[in-house]
Every structure is written in C-alpha cells, then in structure tokens.
Structure 1
Amino acid sequence: MHNPTWEKRLLDIANAEDLEQLRSIREREQTRMATELSTSPAYEVVESLNALHDALITQVLKLAEYDLARLGHGAPPVPYTYMLYGSGGRYEQTMYSDQDSGLVYANAPNEVEEERYRNYFLQFSQVIVQHLIKLGYPPCEGNVIASNPEWCLPLEGWEKKIDAWFAEPSWENVRYLLIVADGRPVYGDRELAGKLQNRFFNDLLSHPVIARRMMENTIRHKVLVGVFGQLLTERYGEDAGSLDIKYGAYIPMVNAFRLLAVQAGIRETSSMGRIKALQQSEVLTEKEAEDASEAFELFLKMRMKATGSDENGQMVGTGKIPSKQITKEMRAPLKKALKAGKRIQLRVQRELQRRFGGR
C-alpha cells in the first residue's frame, strides 16, 4: 500500500550520510512507534519497527562499503549477503534488540583469493558491527555476530559448518542449527542465503535423529503459567513481581513454532508466518492457528512494552514487564494467551514422547 509518509522516512534513511543522522532517525522513529503502540494493532507496529531496523542496517552496510573503499580496500571483491538471526531473522525485533548476524560471501577460485576475500570481509564486518553499536545496537552476548570469524565465511565454509553441526548434534551445535533456522538476508546477494537454507533443509532430511535434539532444546523454556492458571512472576530481587515476558511467554512459543515449521519443511522465518503456513499445511487446525496468532500478537505487544534503558549509548532491554504495568484488565487476556502457549508447548512435548520415547 502506498504510504508517502513512510516512504519519506525510508528516503531520509537512504540519504543519511553519517551515523549521527541515522542514530537521530532511529531515536525519533522509535519514540513515535512507542506512542502508536497504545492505539494501533501490535503486529502493525512490529512490522513498521522491523522495516525501520532493516532500512537502518542496510544504510550502515552501504556506509561501511564506502568507508572501506575510502581507506583503500576497494569495493567488495565478490557478492555477499548480510544475515540476521534471532529476533531480527524472525522480523520480531523490539526497540532494544541486539546484533545477531552473520555474513556469507561467494567462494574463491584459489587460496590466494580466498585469503584476500577473508581479510576484506572480516574488516568489513568489524566496521559494520562498530557502526551499528554507534546506532545503539549492542553486540550479541553469545558472539553470534558477523565480526566473529566463525560467522563470517564463504559459502563453502558455511556449508561445511552446517554439515558438521548436523553430524555431531551436541547441545551447542543444535543451538546453532536452531539459530540458523531463523536466518534471513537483509542486504546483498539473496541467492547465497537461499543456498544456505537449501543446505540446512537437505541435511535435516538426512539426519532424522536431530529432531529429538531440537525438541529437547525447544521445551527448555517453560511458559510462566501455573497449574491453576496463575501468573508465575519473579519472586526475588529488584524484579520481584515482574513478568519475564521474553523467556516465560515469547521464547517458548517462538521455539515451538520454529520446530513445528522446520519439521514440516516450512522455510518461513517469522513466527506469525510460520503459524499461517502450519495451518495451510494442516499441521495446525484453524482454531489452533487462530488461538496461537492471538496469543503471540499479545506477547509481541507486551514484549515491546518491556523495560529497557540506554547503557553507554546502547539500547538494552530486560524482557520483563514491571508488576505495576500488569493491570487487572490485562490479566485475563494474558492468562488466556499463556494457556494457549502452554498447550502448544505440551503438544511439542507429546510429539517428542510419541516419536522418540523422550521425557
């Protein structure tokens, strides 16, 4: 749909010549979206916010290319694509999301060129990450980030890594595979990203044992609702009374729908897109999909309202809703949504038991 106001905002980003301009745009637009959250459907605000993040990241990549050329390193020697993982890969970033990223570039014809490509793209990734830090995006605490040489590789290096993760399904390797399952390209040669996705799904078909490991990982985070429908809030410390909406509601549903989608061969990466595709594939009934969508949209909205702060220029969130924000009017729909999340998680658990005799 044609939206002149939004097109003007995207044009402002595309025309920004320095990081200060981009940071100012980000802060201004996020303030506006935070206000809209109280009057607009949550998913519309989330979509707009993620389009903002994509536009900012894309412009940072262009500025980083220019900076390296200005320093005498030239243009990118071969096609590449910059990948987003985590909430970025799922189009579900909040105002306070960190950097979860990777970079894949085309294979080199010989060892000399391979070294040249590697040096260029590692420098490039480091510049990108530092630029994004200046925009307020903190680096991933787990080091899943393009400046890490393990997440900045040629296509054949990525394919070998994915093969190795499937061949040795340790807890850590399965965690990486689940991260890769959420990956999407934000800028560059999308064909490279498509080849990575093909490798993932082809390996999945030839390693059925990995499904059990993925299921065990998926049910690790429990939905925070008790057997009597009560909210399980934080009991101790400065966060006492608050609700961990990220790990107690949002992440359990993300994990469940990712697993169901991957097992069904669905390549969509957003949770709402996965729910829709699972219904179309008849993995979920219409009622299950409707309940899941309603619950997940509420979790997205509440996650957007979770507390956050500016820590040394970095926009950092807690993922928790303070007790004073959990109003009486909010409790009934929240409990309903948490129960829907609990049902989905139990379904995944039953699937684990049926297929593999697990816990």
Structure 2
Amino acid sequence: MNDSDWSRLLMRIGSAEDARDLRGMRNEIYALSAACPASGAIDGYYRRLNAAHDAIVRRAVRLAEAETARSGIGSPPVPYAYMLFGSGGRGEQTHASDQDSGLVYEDRPERAEEAETYFAHLSGTVVRMLVEAGYPPCEGNVISRNPAWRRSLGEWKRQLDEWFADPTWEAVRYLLIVADGRCVAGDERLVRELKEYYYGNMPVHPVIVGRMLDNTMRHKVLVGVFGQLLKERYGEDSGSLDVKYGAYIPMVNAVRLLAVQAGLHETSTLRRLERLREAGWLDEDEKSAYEMAFLLFLRLRLMTTERTEDGVRTSNGMVSAAKLTKDTVDELKEALRIGKRLQRVVRKRTLGEPGGPHRGGRT
C-alpha cells in the first residue's frame, strides 16, 4: 500500500458509474489495507482510509442527484449539505463501517414542500446506494433517510433548542452525536452555521454539560484496580477484549466532552487533543500521553474480529486473545491506565473539582 495506490483509487471512485462500481472499489480498499500498519503510521493510515470512505459517500451523493433528476423530480431546489456522524464524522472509520448520516438544507419557505420531497428522495437513494456498496444503515436510525436527521437549517435549529431545553438521556445522546457531525458533500457553509448555533447554545444551558458527563462516563475503561485487563469471561468471545467499548469509545467520549466545553468545532479526536493543547486545556505532556494511548486504540480497532455476511463486512469490536501478545498487553495496560486517568480529569473538570484542567476557556 502506498500513496499512489490510494490516489488512483480515489480518482476511480470519483468516476464510478453506479453502486456496483462503488462496491468493487470498497473491496479494493480492503485489498490495499491487507497489512495493519505500525503504530507510528496509524494516523496517516486512517486519513487515507477515511478519505476513501468519504470519496465513496461523495460519489454516491452525486450519483443519487443524477438518478433523482432522471426520475423527474429534478435538481436540488436549494443548497444542501450531506453530513456524517459517529466514526465517519470523526474520520475514524475502520474497514467495517456503517452509515451514520444526516442532511441539512437552506431555508426557503416558498420552496419548503418541494425541498422536502426532493431531499427525501435524494437521501433515500444515497442510503440505498451505500447499502448496495456494502455500508449497512445505522442500527440506531441516525441516517439521512430518517426525517429526524434530514431538516432545513431552521428546523435543525429548532430541534437543537428542544434538545437543549429538555436534556433527557436521548436528547443528550443526540446532542453529542451532532458534535461529531461534519460535511462530506455539498455546501459546507450550512454545517458551519449549524455547528455555530450548537456551540452558541452551550453557555446558556449549563445543566447540559452535567448531563453530557453522565453519558460520557457510561462506558468504563476495561482495566481493573490492580492493572489487569478486564476480558470477556463467557461465550464465543471469551478471553477477548472489547476494544471498541472498553478503550476506544471511552476516550472518544472524554475528549469530545472537553472539546465541547472548550467550544472547539473539530470532530477528529486527534485534532481535538491538539486544539485542547493550543487552547491551554491540556499541557504538552498530557496531550502526548492521551495521543499515544488513542493511537494504540486505533491500531487495535483494525485487529478486531470481522465477519462478512451477504457481502457486508461487520466487526464485533473485540480483539481475540490470540492477537493479544505480551508486548501488546503491556502497551494496552499502560494506555488503558492513561484512558482511565483522562476520565477522572474530565469528571473533575466538568464538576468543577480540584485537579481538572483549569486553564483556557471557550474559544
């Protein structure tokens, strides 16, 4: 695998003629990704991998526009942006990726009905094409064909107001999902305005941060009080480690909450860490330690158990015992201790207790 291979693949994705072409090119991504890279190159590897995923989504949007026009519905009646959430929004998708998506379009009251008809058809077509290309829809229904995640900018703002005003568990979960959203196709200005409105709401709803903390701390780092790894004890995954929910997600959540409190619009976890350091919320040693741990978690995510069913690749998020060598276990124990320390720091910072970051502020 080298940069020229990826560059040629991206060019071919950009000229794919249908979902079948996109599926073949997604299979080529796996072929180019045959060997897990060394830890020192993992961030560059993820950038290339996610650039390929982005290109497939972007091409699916363009193909869907053409199909919608052929159907007689026409062209986009107003500017719009297609968004990715979850690991796609953070630029952290692995080989087995589903669809977490949304859509925002410009407010034009005189064309509201036309816009809803058009974007309902467009988003449904995009989702279908990506399913055919090997990307299953989000199990939680956070997807652009769902009207709840496909709105005009004004409707999106009103929905954010409702979530901020009534911070139930589900509303807070949705607000955290929006924090990871980014534009992958269309008019980025719309997503930028949506995110500015989102961050502008944070200071006037201080209770929401406490609710976000509860959600953020839901997943615990899988290291015991004596430094032992907390592996699966029963079933077919006995002896495996849940890297997704026991390492990766806890760190993603903790860094995201710090970034939200700091008013940082970045979605990548690594970029959030860098911006938190620049804003004075982390010092260089803290940033470096958290970055080292997170890069290991990214590498281990590529080692999780994958299955292919009906041509769709999925992962259970587990690293099998056979892949947990002594060196890997030693690295992992240290990284998990760092992740656990980060969770304590975030809790203290959010609750205003001594020992949390106290420098910097909203930028």
Q: Deviations over 1:242-285 (max 9, x none)?
A: 00000000000000000001101111110000011111111111
Contact 1:134 1:313 in 2 (8 A): no
Which structure 1 segments of 5+ residues have no match?
none
Structure 2 counterpart of 1:214, from 190, 193, 212: 212
Residue in 1 that maps onto 2:81 = 81
Q: State the distance in 2 between where 1:349 and 1:29 align.
A: 39
Q: Deviations over 1:28-67 (max 9, x none)?
A: 1222123252587111111111000000100011110111
Contact 2:264 2:272 in 1 (8 A): yes
Residue in 2 that maps onto 1:17 = 17
Residue in 1 that maps onto 2:224 = 226
Residue in 1 that maps onto 2:72 = 72
Structure 2 counterpart of 1:166, from 164, 167, 170: 164
Deviation at 1:138, TM superposition (A): 0.8
**Greater CA drift, 7-16 or 170-179:** 7-16
Structure 2 counterpart of 1:198, from 196, 199, 221: 196
Residue in 1 that maps onto 2:272 = 274
Deviation at 1:294, TM superposition (A): 0.5
Contact 1:84 1:184 in 2 (8 A): yes
The answer to whether 1:284 aligns with 2:282 is yes
**Greater CA drift, 22-31 or 86-95:** 22-31
Contact 1:82 1:186 in 2 (8 A): yes
Structure 2 counterpart of 1:304, from 302, 305, 313: 302
Amino acid at match of 2:107: N
Three-state SS of the structure 1 residue aligned to 2:104 is strand
Q: State the distance in 2 between where 1:163 and 1:277 align.
A: 27
Three-state SS of the structure 2 residue aligned to 1:239 is coil
Residue in 2 that maps onto 1:334 = 332
Three-state SS of the structure 2 residue aligned to 1:102 is strand
Residue in 2 that maps onto 1:94 = 94
Residue in 1 that maps onto 2:252 = 254
Deviation at 1:9, TM superposition (A): 1.7
Contact 2:241 2:321 in 1 (8 A): yes
Deviation at 1:5, TM superposition (A): 3.9
Q: State the distance in 1 between where 2:3 and 2:350 align.
A: 46
Three-state SS of the structure 1 residue aligned to 2:185 is strand
Three-state SS of the structure 1 residue aligned to 2:143 is coil
Report the TM-score, using the length of structure 2 for normalisation: 0.94
Amino acid at match of 1:76: P
Three-state SS of the structure 2 residue aligned to 1:230 is coil
Which structure 2 segments of 5+ residues have no match?
355-363
CA RMSD of aligned residues (A): 1.6
Deviation at 1:312, TM superposition (A): 2.1
Deviation at 1:161, TM superposition (A): 0.3
Q: Deviations over 1:123-153 (max 9, x none)?
A: 1111110100011111001100000011111
Residue in 2 that maps onto 1:42 = 42
The answer to whether 1:316 aligns with 2:314 is yes
Contact 2:219 2:249 in 1 (8 A): yes
Deviation at 1:4, TM superposition (A): 4.4
Amino acid at match of 1:301: R
Q: State the distance in 1 between where 2:47 and 2:4 align.
A: 17
Amino acid at match of 1:28: E
Aligned residues between the structures? 353
Amino acid at match of 2:31: T
Three-state SS of the structure 1 residue aligned to 2:267 is coil
Structure 1 counterpart of 2:348, from 341, 347, 350: 350
Q: State the distance in 2 between where 1:271 and 1:39 align.
A: 16
Deviation at 1:7, TM superposition (A): 2.7
Match runs of 1:34-183 below 5 Å: 34-37=34-37, 41-110=41-110, 113-183=111-181
The answer to whether 1:237 aligns with 2:235 is yes
Deviation at 1:304, TM superposition (A): 1.4
Three-state SS of the structure 1 residue aligned to 2:35 is helix
Measured at CA, do residues 3 and 331 of structure 1 come closer, stay the same or move farther in structure 2, by a change above 3 Å?
closer
Deviation at 1:3, TM superposition (A): 5.1
Residue in 1 that maps onto 2:360 = none
Deviation at 1:10, TM superposition (A): 1.4
**Greater CA drift, 302-311 or 161-170:** 302-311
Q: State the distance in 1 between where 2:42 and 2:81 align.
A: 30
Measured at CA, do residues 323 and 4 of structure 1 come closer, stay the same or move farther in structure 2, by a change above 3 Å?
closer
Residue in 1 that maps onto 2:185 = 187
Amino acid at match of 2:17: E
Contact 2:19 2:132 in 1 (8 A): yes
Amino acid at match of 1:153: R
Contact 2:39 2:295 in 1 (8 A): no
Three-state SS of the structure 2 residue aligned to 1:185 is strand
Measured at CA, do residues 337 and 224 of structure 1 come closer, stay the same or move farther in structure 2, by a change above 3 Å?
same
Contact 1:43 1:301 in 2 (8 A): no
Amino acid at match of 1:232: L
